[in-house]
């Protein structure tokens, strides 16, 4: 009786593993099937290591913890997938799988951007060796080498955006190689070394590595990356500058490498990303300015004369804002109603402007005349990190109810 119970228990475990596979949805190992294999693996730019396994296989069970470790260590760099051959017999037959586990590496041709025939992995079945093999396959020829001799050509050769990493490392990192695969033919990536002091000072490079995105061909307008050096963070920073994003914001098929980028394309567009909109409460402010840089214009709308003059200022601001769409949000506030904001940020008089990064609790006040040239110069300097940002504690304070307006007559 005891032996029968043990047999039933073992059979139940085998059935559960056959049904649900080794790898859960929370795992970084991606379960591949006939339905998603073409799109996920063959049509993607990313390199893939794929395990063909059977859930009852003892060697597969031994490999599982090492394979999980690889998927965690290579997240964002190389895709790690697995196919249950008990369930996907046709797909496993297509690749002539005769034993378990079998590991095959699907790499993207650096010239064509398409997948070729997979390569059998014959190395040790350890996380370190699988990772070493996979990282060695990352291409470096997607990245342009930039020096003092050709930096001007790199920056001004095309009006398309281009990313430039200023580094003191002798070799390209695996992270930057992986990003070059992600943005193959959609965003030019360059790597600059051994530049002279004058050039570094021009672009405000005071440490390595520093990543800048130059948005046109003037060689001067750039946006500085100041987040954590992780794949997901840098990808999210670069993605809006890519041709893929600019040409079709709703093309989800090319966003398999990052769930966050898919969510971005399906989110309703914020009006504040295209022109100045009036903000009347904290909820609206958080919606438009919770992350990234936000230009906040302050106007006093308490009289007809003020309103007419402010309309002209607002018209100028909307014209200037067209140069910074995709890099900043644009909002304005009536401080005759919400009178706490001016003293809160130590500003003087209206109209007034400041640029705020609400998530990092930093702001930069505008000092200059309301002119096209002055405003453009200020916004460019903020994006380039050339303007000092001032720390603050609380988000802008809005009055809960509108103050009673005085009669105009």
Angle between helices 231-238 and 259-266 (to 10 degrees): 30
Phi and psi torsions of 363, nearest 5°:
-145, 155
Higher pLDDT, 134 or 387: 134
- Give every CB contact of residue 167 below 8 A, 6+ residues apart in sequence: 191, 192, 193, 208, 209
The tens digit of pLDDT for each residue in 273-308 reads 889 999 999 999 999 998 889 999 999 988 888 888
What pLDDT is attached to residue 269? 67
Q: What is the spatial distance between Cα 34 and Cα 42, in angstroms, rounded to a whole number?
A: 12
Structure tokens at 53: 């396994």
The tens digit of pLDDT for each residue in 99-143 reads 999 999 999 887 777 888 999 999 999 999 999 999 999 998 899
Strands 188-192 and 143-146: what pairing? Answer: parallel
The answer to whether domain 144-241 and domain 277-391 are alike in fold is yes
What pLDDT is attached to residue 169? 95
21 in the Ramachandran plot: left (φ > 0), alpha (ψ -120 to 50) or beta? left
Does the pLDDT value for residue 248 go beyond 50? no
What pLDDT is attached to residue 60? 95
* Rounded (5°) CA angle 292-294-295: 155
Q: Give burial (CB, 10 Å; 0-12/13-18/19+) of 117.
A: exposed
pLDDT grade, residue 332 (50/70/90)? very high
The tens digit of pLDDT for each residue in 218-231 reads 888 899 998 889 99
Region 277-391: CATH code: 3.40.30.10
Helix (H, G, I), strand (E, B) or coil at 120: strand
Q: Indicate the pTM of the whole model.
A: 0.62
CB 114: neighbour CB atoms within 10 A?
10
The residue-averaged pLDDT of 161-167 equals: 96
Structure tokens at 52: 């063909």
What pLDDT is attached to residue 401? 53
What pLDDT is attached to residue 4? 52
DSSP letter assigned to residue 69: H
- Give every CB contact of residue 17 below 8 A, 6+ residues apart in sequence: 55, 56
**CA nearest neighbour of 181 among 118, 253, 261, 242:** 242
DSSP letter assigned to residue 42: I
Helix (H, G, I), strand (E, B) or coil at 293: coil
**CA nearest neighbour of 355 among 384, 334, 335:** 384
144-241 is classed CATH 3.40.50.10860: no
Region 30-137: CATH code: 3.40.30.10
Does the pLDDT value for residue 192 go beyond 70? yes
The residue-averaged pLDDT of 64-78 equals: 95
Strands 329-334 and 294-299: what pairing? Answer: parallel
pLDDT grade, residue 268 (50/70/90)? low
Structure tokens at 405: 């307006």
What pLDDT is attached to residue 305? 80
Domain boundaries, the chain: 30-137, 144-241, 277-391
Higher pLDDT, 94 or 387: 94
Which strand (E) or helix (H) includes residue 408? none
Q: What is the spatial distance between Cα 296 and Cα 332, in angstroms, rounded to a whole number?
A: 5
Outline where 255-303 has alpha helix (H).
259-266, 282-289
Phi and psi torsions of 47, nearest 5°:
-80, 145
Q: Average pLDDT over the chain, rounded to whole?
A: 86
């Amino acid at each position: 009786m005891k032996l029968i119970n043990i047999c039933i228990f073992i059979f139940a475990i085998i059935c559960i593993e056959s049904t649900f596979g080794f790898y859960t949805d929370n795992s970084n190992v991606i379960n591949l099937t006939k339905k998603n294999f073409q799109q996920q693996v063959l049509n993607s730019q990313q390199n893939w290591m794929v395990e063909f396994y059977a859930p009852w296989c003892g060697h597969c069970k031994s490999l599982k913890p090492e394979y999980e470790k690889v998927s965690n260590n290579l997240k964002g760099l190389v895709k790690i997938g697995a196919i249950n051959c008990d369930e996907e017999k046709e797909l496993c037959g297509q690749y002539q799988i005769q034993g378990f586990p079998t590991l095959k590496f699907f790499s993207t041709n650096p010239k064509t951007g398409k997948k070729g025939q997979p390569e059998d992995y014959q190395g040790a079945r350890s996380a370190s060796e699988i990772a070493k093999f996979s990282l060695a396959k990352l291409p470096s020829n997607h990245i342009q080498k930039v020096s003092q001799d050709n930096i001007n050509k790199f920056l001004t050769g095309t009006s398309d955006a281009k990313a430039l990493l200023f580094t003191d490392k002798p070799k390209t990192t695996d992270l930057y190689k992986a990003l070059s695969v992600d943005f193959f033919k959609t965003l030019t990536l360059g790597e600059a070394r051994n530049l002279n002091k004058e050039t570094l000072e021009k672009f405000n490079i005071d440490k390595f590595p520093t990543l800048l995105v130059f948005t046109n061909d003037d060689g001067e307008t750039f946006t500085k990356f100041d987040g954590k050096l992780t794949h997901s963070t840098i990808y999210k920073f670069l993605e809006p500058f890519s041709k893929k994003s600019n040409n079709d914001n709703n093309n989800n098929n090319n966003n398999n490498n990052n769930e966050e980028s898919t969510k971005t394309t399906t989110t309703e567009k914020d009006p504040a990303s295209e022109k100045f909109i009036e903000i009347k409460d904290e909820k609206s402010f958080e919606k438009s300015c919770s992350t990234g840089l936000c230009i906040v214009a302050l106007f006093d709308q308490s009289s007809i004369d003020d309103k007419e003059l402010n309309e002209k200022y607002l018209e100028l601001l909307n014209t200037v804002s067209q140069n910074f769409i995709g890099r900043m949000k644009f909002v304005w506030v009536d401080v005759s109603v919400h009178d706490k904001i001016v003293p809160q940020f130590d500003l003087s008089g209206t109209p007034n402007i400041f640029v705020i990064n609400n998530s990092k609790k930093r702001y930069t006040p505008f000092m200059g005349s309301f002119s096209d040239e002055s405003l453009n110069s200020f916004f460019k300097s903020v994006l380039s990190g050339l303007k000092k940002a001032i720390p603050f504690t609380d988000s802008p304070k809005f009055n809960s109810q509108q103050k009673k307006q005085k009669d105009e007559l």
